Amino acid sequence: MNPVVYAGFLVFALVASITPGPNNLMLMASGVNYGLGRTLPHLAGVCLGFGVMAFAVGLGLAGVFHAAPWLYAVLRWASAAYILYLAYKMVRSKGVGTAVTSGRPMSFLGAAAFQWVNPKAWVMALGAITAYAAPAHLARDVAVMSVSFVVINIPCGLTWAMSGVGIKRFLKRGRTLQIFNAVMALLLVLSLYPLITEPLGPARPPPGVIIGTPRATG
């Protein structure tokens, strides 16, 4: 991959990975309710699951969706339904003590599987591959980008999980935690707004990054 294009991709990946979305909101809530240690499998599932998804999308799965546009509708409504379910589960969490002793954080496999119905993950994967992968070296570029996403997602997700751990001490009272979980659930529902109002599609590259000529050179 051309160094200039790769630098642009890294900016895109960092901004997309650190900004709020279903994964980061859920990691923060998990940090509050379960602590960092029990959230680590969730974090690992997000990072590795998204890397695998981006790799699969880059190697041809995106073409399947372009060939069968109706699959977009299935993805959109499956995503919305599952995120609403997660928001409901978040609201039902009763408190720090209860959550840690009887509740269960999202598992590695659950978090990895969630990437396939996460609208932000699809936008990130499709956008990055469309904008930054060179057709002449597609497999190589997709592999590099997938690994880079995993590496970048680790500190970004960890930041959100640790921020949840950091504010946990302020939420010791059950009522306060319930309010926090309700707010996080509301934000999770609001994250569906782009899914409902905009079609899934390529994201624009960062301003000032010229894609045309460098892409062709790989």
Q: pLDDT tens per residue, the chain (218 residues)?
A: 788 889 889 988 998 898 888 899 899 989 988 889 999 999 999 999 999 999 998 887 666 666 777 776 676 677 677 777 777 877 776 544 444 434 688 999 999 999 998 888 888 888 788 778 877 788 899 999 999 999 999 999 999 999 888 887 776 655 676 777 777 778 777 766 655 655 544 444 434 434 333 443 44
pLDDT at 53: 94
- Contact between residue 46 and residue 157 where contact means Cβ atoms under 8 Å apart: yes
pLDDT at 41: 96
SS3 at position 199:
coil
pLDDT at 189: 76
pLDDT at 61: 66
pLDDT at 97: 41
Residue whose structure tokens are 């109002």? 197
Q: 115 CB contacts (<8 Å, ≥6 apart)?
A: 23, 46, 49, 50, 52, 53, 121
Closest CA to 123 of 207, 211, 197: 197
- Contact between residue 23 and residue 118 where contact means Cβ atoms under 8 Å apart: yes
pLDDT at 8: 87
- Contact between residue 35 and residue 100 where contact means Cβ atoms under 8 Å apart: yes
pLDDT at 63: 67
DSSP state for residue 172 in the 8-state scheme: -
Task: Flag whether the pTM goes above 0.75.
Answer: no
